[in-house]
Structure 1
């Protein structure tokens, strides 16, 4: 009887790394302190974050020694990864948990001092782009949720075999990390609020075409999809050491107020090659609009601001009285308009907005009036239903505009669903290739079955209603999804409240 043995060849780098990450996640599943991927991914992230920093600093330290320069670590002993994590039989169990969690603990060198997280949270940088400020901001919003120090030691030992100073491994890890981010979004419903489908992100970057030397901002960056794509787009333009320095230090900016996505965006950018991410951990809306000057303006804004959120009264006070709105999207629109450069080459923006922004009146109409009269709103791409499924069913649009108005005409492009499809879903999402006709049309700007233009004067005369149907398309009846019907009703209710509030204020004025 003949038998054949299956020959298994050596694992590729990708297979090895995927195996390491899978093993670490499997270990985490045994820990009673973690509940699903929404807990496991942040744990993996902060551990990889510290390993990444130590690997990079080891490289920089060697480079400095060879050139006769002094090197200063962002994290000092005994808090560096090499001091407490590298030895497989090192600090473990309750001692490891105490060292990480407690404000004061016995450190790996046997002395008493601040615990690991307490130390990291209090790091302070001495200049801009100082990695210590980023580390402090990351760990001020990070919690170690693992209960078993023995399981945590096993996870650390697994991740010790990852080499963040290897270009090949970094490339694989960045892809693996993005797939984990998507898994977390799928597993946690509210995580979808900072998710934009990658094909939409790629399209917006492709059409705005960031150039090296420009500053690119996402004021609501979530896990960093727009910033990662913009970074990759700019990286292809680097030819010299000076280009590299420009890319690393003066190109990418973000803002993310929530601790979890703040941690995730920093790791995402680090894995893709940005060594010191410039991400503001505060609310982008916290500054008075009138105080934002030329020094704070940027060349390009790419963003998907939160839909349907509400801001506190203190934030509303940062905006003009006649443009204060509870709807977060409208506040971000004003911030974006204010933050675009107005000197030399005008700043430009690509923004995802819900349908309600197009037809909204009251405060919304006043913002759109400013957009049409002081900016050039040159293109609105109408996305088909379900692009953001399963996170939201609200129809969405892409606004492309720049400083240097007024707007003369607005081009509309209606992105169709693939033939035979009624919607998108988690299992059958939008594909980037579907945008090929749009990308080709973008350069020629000719009317067709999917594209048409409307004079700005006509839009202004119609209370700035931008919700225009395709005059060239086939006649059909549009059945709005329940979420959009609710949004339409809420928009009208907000308009009624706005009017009644003004009437009430008038009645209180002395005669």
Structure 2
């Protein structure tokens, strides 16, 4: 390998410049016969970005701050040692990446029992990484483009995180066809906000996907960090579990871009991980959108107590989370309508809900309209908020109304964060004071829930009421919004048909 041609420190990468580089990178990958679609291209781009960011934000910063710092990645394998060498190209580069670099990174071993050792994260990621690019020349071009992205400042990190999040959204749209469901950012934000997180609390997402809940929690709590010790404690308190290698890689990259060099992410079946956990592993807060509609294998189901054994993943996650919480711990979880409906003495779902209501205070259920999770599913979902250690006496329901003049949200008209504003105002702060029924809100006693066989699929009794007086100005504003949306759709259709707008 030729000696590296190290670059001088570069200026901050602007958002426009970064978007241009990423577009060029994706165009380059489209030319390669080994990459088919975004579900191939995004992992390829992500692991290269991860190595570039890791070298610049972890290794180089560590060397600057500590003269005795020992890099996690050995000489010749760091980004600055091979990626910046423009003479190292073509088949030579491809052979090095396939036969030396990836096997070396996959074989890294961190210090036993040291969760902060980044070598553990690197080895977990690269055990599942494959260079799918068949052209060494295109691989060289792609590496050169990634090397133009810089992470010298917090502004660079925020810029890259913004662009990366837009790429993740596109990947989520593509992944929906293969059964992957991801949580929209407004839902993430609302669930984190209404969990009222505090520094020093341990926070877990046992189905973390690409890390949306963890990043939102981290961003919110970083606003309260004043010291390095608080920041290090926060890094240790944000934890995730993810079963599949691609989301694990994306979550690791997402956390790194937000400043967490050694994220506490575990690649494991979360149900097994939680069932095997000890009291010391319990956490203060769980924020999650577990998979639903799937079935777990028998060996996983048999880890659960008799009478609660089911192959429905959402039920198993709910049951495992109850045990995973400390006394006084809190949870915000997404569940589909079908999970709320299950009732009757012989229903495992009803028995799990009975346990939930007995062991926890299920204080709030927020009912979402159809299409919030489009394009993955049109099934209406619910956000459940509960606290462990006190039985439920009553459950408050709040129904988010559908968007103006439509039955629900769609991929092209997704739910904006502002649609949660009225619910936030009604919530009543951390202590949930001053809640009132009527309109979109109602409460149901535990006695009534028991009479219904523990069904929680309870419709709004206020439907049909004149919820609020609406002025003619408001009605006209609504009509303008709807007409503009229709006009936009018609223009798009006209363009698709080959006409001029």
TM-score, normalised on structure 2?
0.86
The question of whether the paired residues in 1 share the 8 Å contact of 2:181 and 2:376 is answered with no
Counterparts of 1:205 and 1:93 in 2: how far apart (Å)? 47
Aligned mate of 2:130, from 143, 154, 165: 143
Deviation by residue 1:445-467 (Cα, 9 ceiling, x = unmatched): 11121111111122123211111
SS in 1 for 2:283: coil
Aligned mate of 1:236, from 223, 230, 233: 223
Per the TM alignment, residue 191 of structure 1 is displaced from its structure 2 partner at its CA by 5.7
Q: Which residue of 2 aligns with 1:224?
A: 211
Counterparts of 1:101 and 1:241 in 2: how far apart (Å)? 38
The question of whether the paired residues in 2 share the 8 Å contact of 1:266 and 1:277 is answered with yes
SS in 2 for 1:34: coil
The question of whether the paired residues in 2 share the 8 Å contact of 1:185 and 1:191 is answered with no
Q: Which residue of 1 aligns with 2:28?
A: 27
Counterparts of 1:18 and 1:184 in 2: how far apart (Å)? 16
Per the TM alignment, residue 359 of structure 1 is displaced from its structure 2 partner at its CA by 1.1
Counterparts of 1:474 and 1:302 in 2: how far apart (Å)? 34
Q: State how 1:368-407 maps to structure 2 within 5 Å.
A: 368-407=353-392
1:352 and 2:334 correspond: yes
Q: Which residue of 2 aligns with 1:167?
A: 154
Counterparts of 2:181 and 2:249 in 1: how far apart (Å)? 13
Deviation by residue 1:33-55 (Cα, 9 ceiling, x = unmatched): 11122211111100011111111
Deviation by residue 1:132-155 (Cα, 9 ceiling, x = unmatched): 000000011111110011110111
Deviation by residue 1:426-450 (Cα, 9 ceiling, x = unmatched): 1111011011100000003111211
Q: Which residue of 2 aligns with 1:60?
A: 62
Root-mean-square deviation over aligned CA pairs? 1.7
Q: Which residue of 2 aligns with 1:445?
A: 435
Counterparts of 2:87 and 2:286 in 1: how far apart (Å)? 48
Counterparts of 2:178 and 2:220 in 1: how far apart (Å)? 26
Gap change, CA 1:288 and 1:302, over 3 Å in 2: closer
Counterparts of 1:216 and 1:353 in 2: how far apart (Å)? 19
Q: Which residue of 1 aligns with 2:193?
A: 206
1:87 and 2:85 correspond: yes
Per the TM alignment, residue 418 of structure 1 is displaced from its structure 2 partner at its CA by 2.4
1:125 and 2:110 correspond: yes
Gaps of 5+ in 2: 1-10, 429-433, 467-501
Aligned mate of 1:462, from 428, 446, 452: 452
1:329 and 2:327 correspond: no
Counterparts of 2:79 and 2:72 in 1: how far apart (Å)? 12
The question of whether the paired residues in 1 share the 8 Å contact of 2:12 and 2:152 is answered with no
Counterparts of 1:182 and 1:24 in 2: how far apart (Å)? 17
Aligned mate of 2:169, from 170, 182, 186: 182
Deviation by residue 1:468-487 (Cα, 9 ceiling, x = unmatched): 111112289xxxxxxxxxxx
Aligned mate of 1:277, from 256, 263, 266: 263
Per the TM alignment, residue 12 of structure 1 is displaced from its structure 2 partner at its CA by 7.1
The question of whether the paired residues in 1 share the 8 Å contact of 2:241 and 2:269 is answered with yes
The question of whether the paired residues in 2 share the 8 Å contact of 1:194 and 1:221 is answered with no
Counterparts of 2:107 and 2:142 in 1: how far apart (Å)? 26
Gaps of 5+ in 1: 1-9, 103-114, 477-511
The question of whether the paired residues in 2 share the 8 Å contact of 1:186 and 1:192 is answered with no
Gap change, CA 1:190 and 1:124, over 3 Å in 2: farther
Bigger shift: 434-443 or 233-242?
233-242
Per the TM alignment, residue 190 of structure 1 is displaced from its structure 2 partner at its CA by 3.5
The question of whether the paired residues in 2 share the 8 Å contact of 1:17 and 1:169 is answered with no
Per the TM alignment, residue 262 of structure 1 is displaced from its structure 2 partner at its CA by 0.5
TM-score, normalised on structure 1?
0.85
Gap change, CA 1:27 and 1:287, over 3 Å in 2: closer
Deviation by residue 1:354-412 (Cα, 9 ceiling, x = unmatched): 00111113110010001111110000111011111111011100100011221010000
SS in 2 for 1:411: strand
Counterparts of 1:166 and 1:475 in 2: how far apart (Å)? 54
Per the TM alignment, residue 178 of structure 1 is displaced from its structure 2 partner at its CA by 0.4
Counterparts of 2:392 and 2:335 in 1: how far apart (Å)? 19
The question of whether the paired residues in 2 share the 8 Å contact of 1:174 and 1:271 is answered with yes
Gap change, CA 1:152 and 1:205, over 3 Å in 2: same
Aligned mate of 1:97, from 86, 94, 97: 94
Q: Which residue of 1 aligns with 2:233?
A: 246
Bigger shift: 230-239 or 188-197?
188-197
Counterparts of 2:356 and 2:12 in 1: how far apart (Å)? 55
1:422 and 2:424 correspond: no
Per the TM alignment, residue 76 of structure 1 is displaced from its structure 2 partner at its CA by 0.4
Counterparts of 2:205 and 2:293 in 1: how far apart (Å)? 18
